[in-house]
Chains A and B, each alone.
Chain A
Amino acid sequence: MNLPIIRLSRVVTALFAALLIATTVIQFAQAPSLRARPDNRRTLLDNYSRARGAILLPGDQAIASSKPSAGELAYLRSYPQGPLYSHVTGYYSFVYGAAGLEAASDDLLSGSSDALFYKRVSDLLSGKQATGASLQLTLNPKAQAAASKGLGNQRGAVVAINPKTGAILAMVSHPEYDPNALATHDSNDAVAAMNALNADPTRPLVNRAIGGNLYPPGSVFKIVTAAAALSNQTVTETTQIPAPARMDLPQTSVGLPNYDKAACGPNEQTTLQHALEISCNTAFGWLGLKVGADPLRAQAAKFGFGESLRVPLRVTPSSVPAELNPPQLAQSAIGQYDVRVTPLQVAMVSAAIANRGVLMTPYLVERVVGANLDILDQHTPQQLSQAVSPEVAATLTRMLVSTVDTGTGKPARISGVAVAGKTGTAQQGNGLPPHAWFTAFAPADDPQVAVAVVVEDGGNMGEEAAGGRLAGPIAKAVMEAVITR
């Protein structure tokens, strides 16, 4: 009977080999993906068992931090300023996972990032409890507060950038929400809060500054059209260009009217500078056709359109439609038709012009710091593109300063400071009041801040809304908060 015993022992060997292979597959090969499963309670408890890094303002004031908590989850995430920074920090909920910076920089905050490898090793060697790294942001608390106050109960968004570095100084999206309500360890409360937010038709969870459905830019896009025209030397700022009360659009019976139904100058002509000052639709419609679709799209791309940015929040790319017939091109040149932008993109256009044509990559995290505030990583400003030449940037700046001094941008004037800006009133074509836009930078000769403001659906002014009156004062308040610092 020994031969079958030996054969049977081979079967036994095979059975045990199968078990060794299966355990290896689970505990080694599949382990990372099993650990990363969202329903993995062990990973969740692990995450809550370490002190998560804080999210700090430049003065080291925390806008998100972990506090020791009784119960199975060892730390509670709290947001001392509640809604004000909600769209920047996002939330960290054991029911719903994370959003905002809590999600985008989770590896740093939780301490699992490869970039923190040496810190982890030194924590291990020195016997310190492992902690996540903290993020120190670029935000200016005064600018953030001014933006939020300016928007008030209106829906919309504000973004402010330091044009020289790309540092984001303010990022506000209204309505806001309270991330503490989602971070609570009481799952019933968290579920109730999330259900209420999801049921809200104003969609408070959407960060309108960088995402959501995006906005038609309206007349603020005329800056891009003007930049394309100046860069291609199609015109100069003093060239007389056609500017009738209504422009006949080729291949269609629908015309392109001016806002006030009047011509923009004598003999239905005006200069580029004046067209920009009074936001003349017909002049820019003509200019768009003259420049052509491809150069216009190329100019937009140089300002960052189509770019998938992570600041490190993911920014939805702004877009100019790929196929444009002449009427669509004329409409696009004044920021209508299917041009779609984020407020961040509009602020980037202003910032590039302010910074002598150089567009800096926008960013929110100035430095990554350890538990004792030792600097683990310091952001180095990076150039995203040369959007326009310094000469074209200077010309545009001159025209935009004049727009604020004498044109539609008057509501944003700051005494003693040269402000460059442009209004926009974006028609929606669905019966809703227009979106009010304003973008600006200041001081024009030594820019410290570029800002974009959008107020949705006419805000508190309804059909009477215009970019200058509704959005201008908000932009002004934000710029003042930065400049008078």
Chain B
Amino acid sequence: MITTVETITPRTRRNVELVLCLFALAIVLSAWVNVDLALKGVLPASLATVGGGLLVLVVGFHLVLRWRASFADPLLLPVATLLNGMGLVMIHRLDLAGGRDSLSGNAFRQLQWTGLSLVVAAGVLWMLRDHRRLQRYTYTAMAAGLALLLLPLVPGLGKEIYGSRIWIGLGSYSFQPGEIAKIALTVFFAAYLVQTRDVLSLAGRKFVGLTLPRARDLGPIILAWLVSLAVLVFERDLGSSLLFFGLFVAMLYVATERISWIAIGLTLFAAGTYVAYLLFPHVQRRVMLWLDPFSDESIRQSDQLAKGLMGMASGGLFGTGLGQGRPWITSFADSDFIFPSLGEEIGLFGVFALLVLYGLFVERGLRTALGVRDGFGKLLSIGLAFSVALQVFVVIGGVTRVIPLTGLTTPFMSLGGSALLANWTIVALLLRISDQARRPVPEADGIPARLPLRDPAPAGGMP
């Protein structure tokens, strides 16, 4: 922390954001042109209209920020725009491979969801002037989160697709309520932990170097664990289960600064997954596919992991070029396997760039958590940022065989409206909190102004 005496004029960096947004759009549109030239030999007919529409949406969002959150972090919007756009390009590219035209294809639907998500996110920014107001809804958020999480189990409403019961059907639309539940539960965790952190962090006795919590304080973590197990067992959704529990343990640790919570959490997690492995064939199957995706038995059960790996291998360092690979060979190439699809066509260097973008997004969230002054804001931004990090790890780690494959969406990129809506809402919340974090505190009530956390990025590095 630099404690220089000279006045630092806090900079909003909105202009940086605008330039980076235009740059992100330019990359996305060139990628789209690249795909259409490679596959059809002509420029996309709707380049001007769709490009213009995206421009209006993104610049509109940027203007909302100028107006309502002028100190918000300048990187979150361009990074999310670029990731969302690359997802759209790949979904469109797979539409073309599957013979779907631009209006009936998945990309058109995803584009509509993108527009809706941006509008909703801008609305959240507009309506929610101060993130602390969310604290009022602690238990509403809990109830909503649990309800949404368990909604797919309601008979008649829940739909089981590809073995996981995590969708609900609304007319012709399918919706994954777990994505929205993720945000509601993060709000709840943050609000709850900020109230109870003193008890959870101080009471307890020492045991083998660890200060263990009192038995009666174990209630919340046990509850979170049981809900995660319920998701795993009844919805067969390994990914969400892992995500919720990991998120809760991480937030609990940040709230209490107590390593023992992590030890307890990991123990519970290990015990839960081991028992689930022993009891449930679908978990055993995932582990088998993970350990040897190319064995005869694995190929017989599901060859998508093997095909995804071969797709990434065929991309090599530089990729086949957009529109020039064969990502459609892998099933779910535009959702769970969109990362291997991109790996095939933009190569190792391209997916490195994507991973760095995700890393940057999470880093801006963590930086916001460091900078914001209230405990709720810290916990909420940590929770949101970490949930994105964990989700990226679970899904991309799954397709690259770091961990067993579980069905989570790749944030911002996978085909699927609910996930897109949820992730853009996370962007809005992080932007809102980062505005508070970076905004200079007015010199009032005789409290000396604190310097805003200084952006350590060299000023010369940005336009």
Query: Which residues of A come within 8 Å of B, CB atoms?
Result: 1-6, 8-9, 11-12, 15-16, 18-20, 22-24, 26-28, 30-32, 34-35, 37, 39-43, 45-46
Contacts and interface: CB of A to CB of B under 8 A. Distances in A.
Contact of B378 (A1, A9, A45): A1
Contacts of B143: none
Nearest to A27: B348
Given A22-B397, A23-B348, A42 B314 contact: yes
B270 interface: no
A94 to B, nearest CB: 14
Given A12-B386, A27-B317, 14 more contacts: A2-B370, A5-B382, A9-B363, A11-B250, A16-B359, A16-B393, A18-B402, A20-B352, A26-B343, A31-B313, A34-B312, A34-B313, A40-B310, A41-B326
B310 A19 contact: no
Contact of B355 (A4, A9, A20): A20
B288 interface: no
A12 B366 contact: yes
19 contacts: A1-B254, A4-B253, A5-B370, A8-B254, A8-B386, A12-B359, A16-B362, A16-B392, A19-B397, A23-B400, A30-B309, A31-B314, A32-B313, A34-B310, A39-B294, A40-B313, A42-B310, A42-B325, A46-B314
Contact of B250 (A8, A18, A32, A41): A8
Interface string B376-400: 0011001000100110110011001
Range of interface residues on B (Cβ < 8 Å): 35 or more
Contacts of B326: 41-42, 45
B310 A35 contact: yes
Contacts of B253: 4, 8
B68 interface: no
Interface of B: 250, 253-255, 257, 294, 299, 306-307, 309-317, 325-326, 329, 343, 347-348, 351-352, 355, 358-359, 362-363, 366, 369-370, 375, 378-379, 382, 386, 389-390, 392-393, 396-397, 400-402
B386 A24 contact: no
B347 A27 contact: yes
A11 B262 CA distance: 12
B310 A27 contact: no
Contacts of A35: 310, 313-314
B382 A26 contact: no
A4 B392 CA distance: 21
A12 B400 contact: no
A35 B363 CA distance: 35
Contacts of A16: 355, 358-359, 362, 389, 392-393
Nearest to A13: B359
A354 to B, nearest CB: 51
Nearest to B318: A27
A27 B312 contact: yes
A27 B339 CA distance: 12
Contacts of B363: 9, 12
Nearest to A29: B313
Contacts of A31: 312-314, 316
B348 A28 contact: yes
A27 B313 contact: yes
Given A19-B402, A27-B348, A37-B294, A1 B255 contact: yes
A35 B257 CA distance: 48
A138 to B, nearest CB: 37
Contact of B369 (A5, A23, A40): A5
B116 to A, nearest CB: 29
Given A18-B393, A28-B316, A39 B299 contact: yes
B348 A15 contact: no
A37 B370 CA distance: 48
A18 B392 CA distance: 11
B400 A41 contact: no
Contacts of A3: 257
Contacts of B352: 20, 23
B314 A1 contact: no
Contacts of A41: 307, 310, 326, 329
A133 to B, nearest CB: 23
B313 A19 contact: no
Contacts of A27: 312-313, 315-317, 343, 347-348, 351
Given A15-B393, A16-B358, A26-B400, A4 B313 contact: no
A5 B366 CA distance: 7
A22 B400 contact: yes
A46 B314 CA distance: 10
A221 B254 CA distance: 87
A23 B355 contact: yes
Contacts of B317: 27-28
A9 B299 CA distance: 37
Contacts of A32: 313
Interface centre among A2, A6, A16, A26 (most CB of B within 10 A): A26
Contacts of B392: 15-16, 19
A3 B254 CA distance: 8
Contacts of B299: 39
Contacts of B311: 42
